[in-house]
Structure 1
């Protein structure tokens, strides 16, 4: 009996050892859920790869998501609702998505790296990578851009968009590289209108003798002088203080800036003169840009152009909405402006520009783009 019991014990031990071995190898039927679980979770681990931009076939040189190209981008807007900030933010989002993180844009707002003129000069010098700059400021460095400051050059948004898509616009962008900076894109911020402390404006007689802040452009100064006003060159961030203190009687700008910078709280008379279209864009140091691979140049350029197109259309809608908001908050809006009286007063300016300016030939070309 003892021998029989020992044999039975040996057999039982052998069976248990075989069972344990089977469990260790994952061969038991009770292990089926754990062996199949990784297969069901596999799509979750691969999903990010299917949604991320594919840059594997592009040559970015030394740059990648692990070693990104950092671009310091400056604007002087005091808040993120301003159109300068919005263009920078849109570009940051689009270029980082388009390059899969191989470009890292770092935005410095509020003018901490300089005002409009200072930041543009830094881009030219290469001490700053990028900036959002206004074309009236740029026109002091490349006078071909002065053509865009001419009053009543553009009729409507269809005309504006036709220009932005034209070879003429590209010629202006290409021209800037001679300064050491390159303009990647141009956005239309909208039509400039007059914001006055003194009262509504319907004809040039209503601003005769008034002190009006204008952007630093020789054409802007000349047109206001033709209308009988006394133009004042004041940096953008200082305009609100000048209005508060009565240093100036008014200013002009698009509704986005009027609202974002709160001009209408002191210059409550907004007259829809639509006397000029305000443009700005993203500038980059040209040597930096040309030192990048062709694929990286192409994606940075495409991102900038997409951002500008996106913001141009958004501003078209926003400006109308913001005008209504300002009116609801106490602004006095005048729409029955005698635009022809303003146009007639600047005809000598047009004639002189067309005959004597290096960009004079562009006037008729841009006008011909109107539908």
Structure 2
């Protein structure tokens, strides 16, 4: 589909959203999400919309287009930069080549735990990364959770790096993630998410890596019965607004957007924690062998060449140090 046609379709969808909700609000902001309806990020933006409507006395509302209705993440990012889409909820990964600062929280083992990630992203470092979106026609509003990603496979329990040697793992289509798996002694196979189940089932790959809810809802646990909580990636998700849309708002409306976005974060985290707990219980009850007690130190030490390759400027090196120093 060419860009002109895509833009036209997005504009039509956006116009439809305004028509549906115009009677309730003076202006409806169009927000995109690749996740399905009911997913924690989708519900968090809906909650933000309710708070925004209340704060602005009905002047501003939000319509969430879930399930990639407005395009996959690469397309939705471009449309948000152009102002066709007003808001976008995206993983930080797709921004790595656009906003250099987003590479740092995407690094393997940069966060010691989900709690550590919260402390970093809720503080001055997180705000610094949000501010870095502005020169790219976007306004960073808030960070959501994407869970911690761990390895699972069909062959054997992974209790050390030696168990990874020679195994083939699907990774997201990212050079950094390919290099991460290679540094651990395994073979990385970039592959679209929808192809993973059959690839494991037929032996094209041995496994993949993801969080509890994705491992559950994808059905991957049915064909990959070994799951190891190494938590190599704890990559946040981000909610951004088009700079074009932002500049069209009054200072009071901009503040209401920022306040509502921040207030939606605990809503999202609460929903995420519940979904994660449900998925974990379901998987453990299914008979999957879960390895929870693992020494991460050798895994972390193996990431030095990855950091050397991607953390090149003094600014990024300083950010890594500050994150590691955060309690």
Q: Normalising to structure 1: TM-score of the pair? A: 0.74
2:290 corresponds in structure 1 to: 333
2:130 corresponds in structure 1 to: 173
Q: Deviations over 1:56-85 (max 9, x none)?
A: xxxxxxxx97542212212112x3353443
Check if 1:192 corresponds to 2:149.
Answer: yes
Assess if the C-alpha contact under 8 Å between 1:192 and 1:252 holds in 2.
Answer: yes
1:44 corresponds in structure 2 to: none
Change in 2 beyond 3 A, CA 1:314/1:162 = same
Assess if the C-alpha contact under 8 Å between 1:146 and 1:219 holds in 2.
Answer: no
Question: How do 1:194-343 and structure 2 match up within 5 A?
Answer: 194-240=151-197, 242-244=199-201, 246-343=203-300
Q: Distance in 1 between matches of 2:317 and 2:183?
A: 19
CA deviation after TM superposition for structure 1 residue 314, in Å: 3.9
2:121 corresponds in structure 1 to: 164
Q: Distance in 2 between matches of 1:101 and 1:327?
A: 46
Change in 2 beyond 3 A, CA 1:100/1:263 = farther
Structure 1 runs of 4+ with >6 Å offset: none
Check if 1:71 corresponds to 2:26.
Answer: no
Change in 2 beyond 3 A, CA 1:317/1:295 = same
Assess if the C-alpha contact under 8 Å between 2:41 and 2:268 holds in 1.
Answer: no
Change in 2 beyond 3 A, CA 1:347/1:125 = same
Q: Deviations over 1:104-138 (max 9, x none)?
A: 32222222221122211221222222221000111
Q: Distance in 1 between matches of 2:193 and 2:259?
A: 29
Q: Distance in 2 between matches of 1:204 and 1:188?
A: 27
Q: Deviations over 1:228-258 (max 9, x none)?
A: 2232333445544544555433222221222
Assess if the C-alpha contact under 8 Å between 1:196 and 1:251 holds in 2.
Answer: yes
Question: How do 1:38-117 and structure 2 match up within 5 A?
Answer: 67-77=25-35, 79-117=36-74
Assess if the C-alpha contact under 8 Å between 1:163 and 1:366 holds in 2.
Answer: yes
Q: Distance in 2 between matches of 1:111 and 1:240?
A: 21
Assess if the C-alpha contact under 8 Å between 1:191 and 1:276 holds in 2.
Answer: yes
Assess if the C-alpha contact under 8 Å between 2:52 and 2:256 holds in 1.
Answer: yes
Q: Distance in 2 between matches of 1:230 and 1:311?
A: 34
| Corresponding residue pairs, total | 307
1:45 corresponds in structure 2 to: none
CA deviation after TM superposition for structure 1 residue 156, in Å: 2.7
Assess if the C-alpha contact under 8 Å between 2:93 and 2:102 holds in 1.
Answer: yes
Q: Distance in 2 between matches of 1:181 and 1:96?
A: 22
SS at match of 2:252: helix
Bigger Rg over Cα: 1
SS at match of 2:142: coil
Unpaired stretches in structure 1, ≥5 consecutive residues: 1-63
CA deviation after TM superposition for structure 1 residue 145, in Å: 0.7
SS at match of 2:299: helix
SS at match of 1:298: helix
Q: Distance in 2 between matches of 1:89 and 1:168?
A: 27
Over the aligned positions, Cα root-mean-square deviation in angstroms equals 2.6
Assess if the C-alpha contact under 8 Å between 1:254 and 1:278 holds in 2.
Answer: no
Unpaired stretches in structure 2, ≥5 consecutive residues: 1-21
